[in-house]
Amino acid sequence: MLVNHFIQNGNKRENKKITRVNADGMKKIREHSWPGNIRELDNAIEHAFVLCGSDVIQLNDLPVEIREGHTYQEDYSRMSNRQPLRENMNNPVTNLTKETLVKLLDDCNWNKAEVGRRIGKSRTAVWKYMKKWDIPLQK
């Protein structure tokens, strides 16, 4: 029910006509532990809307953490020795440029969640910068 609700909201917001998530995608959605609860699900569907090129969300349209069964906490603990790219510890980077973002994407193997962590912004914010500067979603 929640997936359908977020699809309906996304269709209104993005003026798309996505009808559902395919069987493989729904299987991964059901298997995911959802440590971020409803917000994480909402963000996952929003992510899929950005990538989806048809009326059905495919497995590859979903965030990598869901496709591969990772959680943010697992990813963060593996990378905890990495320092965020910040001007100081209280303020996220505010002078992000297109060139800096592309370099960060390359450094992070185009993992938008990791780029977001490094610059102190959300994964969605990274997508918005990419859209604004016409940076492709994948290398």
pLDDT in tens, 50-92: 889 899 999 999 988 888 875 444 444 444 444 455 443 344 4
Q: Backbone phi, then psi, for 59, in 5-degree steps?
A: -55, -45
Q: Are residues 94 and 138 in the same domain?
A: yes
Same domain, 105 and 48: no
User: Is residue 38 in a domain?
Assistant: yes
What single DSSP character describes residue 59?
A: G
Same domain, 2 and 64: yes
Quick one: 66 and 1 in the same domain? Answer: yes
User: Is residue 16 within 8 Å of 50, Cβ to Cβ?
Assistant: no
> How far apart are alpha carbons 17 and 94 in whole angstroms?
35
Euclidean distance between CA atoms 59 and 22, whole angstroms: 7
Number of domains within the chain: 2
pLDDT (mean) for 32-49: 87
Residue 76 falls within a domain, yes or no?
no
**Residue 8 pLDDT:** 96
Q: Quick one: tokens of 20?
A: 């559902």
Segments forming the whole domain that contains residue 59: 1-70
Q: What is the value of pTM for the model shown?
A: 0.53
- The answer on 55 and 31 residing in a single domain is yes
SS3 content of the chain, % helix, strand, coil (to 5): 55, 5, 35
Residues 19 and 64 in one domain: yes
Alpha-carbon radius of gyration of the chain: 15
